[in-house]
A and B are shown apart, each in its own frame.
Chain A
């Protein structure tokens, strides 16, 4: 191929115009029609005010909403972490009482896992999956909004337990029975935990269904599964893990809730119940959850490293299939969290072996990242630094993970700071650093300006050093025998020095995070004086870089035709006669202009938000007064029906309407069939029964 064709810009709104349904929203245009379904809400219109964020169904805006909320809860969880470290900085710490300490570390874990890392990964998933597969939105835009609002309502609900529930949950993030029973945890904290996680789980479940359908069904022509960008692949695997793991924790949480609220006997040992049931159910969810946390970061790293090495990802197929293998094997290792529970030598041996095996596909990934960098033309931007640090730190965490799989050693590690060190190396060192790499990498795409690299450099080094100072010493503390979850320790056990170092490290992480926030503000302010980054500032490889930055509301002017893996790269570069890389077109020439008009987009809706408002009310009702639950259920169910009856702007539904000419008028006739109605009822089992 000689020269790349410039993508055709659609010049004129076609003859579609007269047929346009009343609610069709055109890119860059504000529609003046409004309807009043059930007389409650005016059907919202596209715009840029704050109200439009409440009704948005745009996957990019929802991604930003997820990201901003996640960063807020990162600060909340971070403050909790600092409180823990201040309490433990010196022996006989008296910053927190033992009771409050229990609540703080529990909520730190819950917040960081469910309210920070998972939604931050969801932010990237929402924003970039459609862009990477060449789609204009996710399969079900309103369900996407619903996922976010339910997640936010669950997050707020969970945290209100500090105010109205007599404190946070105090049973640790995995909340083992019988500690979680009323006898040992009489405040409402565990109730908020049980119900709050159900609400959060519902959000993730809806999102998982939505994104799986998006990945499987909405790929641009020519994008076979094995041409899908690796980030999208890892997110797809993550969604499958969520899909199958969440119902298991839902069962566990229901049992716990029934025990606490309705006096069921699931974990009442006096009545012959088996507390191990909770452990099994929790970890059947909990171990896949580990991969739910780490796979998105793997996906980010697998995008960042090839871009800044100017090489294709080494062993793409191996990367995909090792991700799939991790996804499968992640289901067969849960009981390694329970080696000291007395479940018997055969189970211990089996899970010990499977745990050793799961290191293999992970090792494949690490080696492939190294091979990608090998001989590449490396550019150490902040994003690349975070990505490389992810690989290094995750490898340390992975190696200490393999030491846990050795059951006899594990019995010594269990419930010590060695475990705390391990999972912070994989979750912070792997997950969080990886997602920071993504933030620096995609920031110009999302906001249309770079994050300042110089400040970013400081952020990176302070985070990395602070992280290692905080969690590195915990290996030593753990092996010295310091138990996790103790609220203080006496002088003379040899814990003083390393605990102080860890606290210093945590303060460094806090300073680095403050620097990051400052960087966000500073970069935004400076952006006015800097040239815009253009569509493809990093000379990257996947489709999101073929559209302008920031991304226009309709994503693609024309749906791209995919001819190869890394199609965007091959649009820019070809192979010369001597095998050298030849530039065919600059990014500016090849990129879409984002000027297309008259692109059909889904219309905003307030109903997802309205449904989400009902769920926490059901939660409060179950805890305090069932009348609240009734009101919440009415709000949720009523909103679901209003949603289903809301006129849909779906092009096909509209075409049906016009092709049929069944005699109904568009505006006055019954609403066109709601294409999403089959999905909307299924979430209800959880609501109805909770």
Chain B
């Protein structure tokens, strides 16, 4: 980059400064993509704090039922599988949009959002089942930590679905073309991140037995 000549052409100069052309930025990444990566770095610490809180409190049941005692591993495994598959459809959506196939891009975007929705539905079912079994949000430090952690993840999935649907609407309006497929890629980054966090939560919270 350092070899770039001084430019006196105002348009080129403006572009170099405002720089949404990936080739004009210092790193070669577009601003939005770099911003998403940076933001996801911050998110790691958010979930890190929440997971730590749960691990500290996992066995502190206040004399009541622990969340770990009511986990339904087979059920959550299925919903985790659904969420993981949504990463696959997300990749397929990006691939379709960047190949210039808006119809199949839309189909995969919708599929991704639907799989995310199924996962969220599963989480709602799981939460209500836990409450019925006597593990509510205010039951114990362990339950507060569990619902807060998985709830934060659920909110992230929900926001991802909102973004996917926004992309879908944009595509219907003809605004999601090959040229701006990077938007799909960036929202894909977020989506994959949320999936990876779930893999972590599922392994550490559900699969590793407490005490």
Contacts and interface: CB of A to CB of B under 8 A. Distances in A.
Given A217-B29, A274-B56, A656-B180, 12 more contacts: A14-B10, A209-B39, A213-B34, A219-B26, A223-B2, A254-B148, A258-B144, A266-B57, A271-B62, A273-B141, A277-B56, A678-B35
Contacts of B162: 681
A464 interface: no
A678 B36 contact: yes
The prevalent SS among residues of B at the interface is: helix
Given A673-B183, A685-B156, A689-B152, A679 B36 contact: yes
Contacts of B203: none
Interface of B: 1-2, 4-11, 13-21, 25-27, 29, 31-32, 34-36, 38-39, 41-43, 45-46, 48-50, 53, 56-57, 60-62, 137-141, 143-145, 148, 151-152, 155-156, 158-159, 162-163, 166, 170, 173-177, 179-180, 183, 186-187, 190
Contact of A212 (B38, B158, B170): B38
A250 interface: yes
Contacts of B158: 688
Contacts of A662: 174, 177
Contacts of A688: 155, 158-159
7 contacts: A13-B10, A223-B2, A248-B45, A273-B60, A274-B57, A664-B174, A682-B39
Contacts of A212: 34, 38
Contacts of B49: 247-248, 250-252, 281, 284
A224 B4 CA distance: 12
Contacts of B18: 136-137, 600, 602, 650-652
B71 to A, nearest CB: 19
Contact of B35 (A213, A264, A599): A213
Contact of A685 (B10, B15, B159): B159
A251 B31 contact: no
Contact of A678 (B145, B177, B179, B187): B187
B14 A251 contact: no
A208 B176 CA distance: 29
Given A14-B11, A682-B39, A688-B155, A266 B144 contact: yes
Contacts of A217: 19, 25-27, 29, 31, 34
A652 B32 contact: no
Nearest to A653: B20
A201 to B, nearest CB: 11
Nearest to B17: A136
Contacts of A599: 10, 13-14
A561 B6 contact: yes
B148 A272 contact: no
B2 A266 contact: no
A209 B163 contact: no
Given A213-B31, A684-B159, A221 B2 contact: yes
Nearest to A134: B17
Contacts of A251: 46, 49-50, 53
A644 B10 CA distance: 27
Contacts of B17: 134-137, 218, 556, 559
Contacts of A219: 26
Contact of B42 (A205, A222, A223, A224): A205
Contacts of A672: 175
A209 B42 contact: yes
Given A673-B183, A681-B163, A652 B152 contact: no
A16 interface: yes
B131 to A, nearest CB: 14
Contacts of A625: none
A558 B25 contact: no
Contacts of B60: 271-274
A140 B31 contact: yes
A400 interface: no
B21 A652 contact: yes
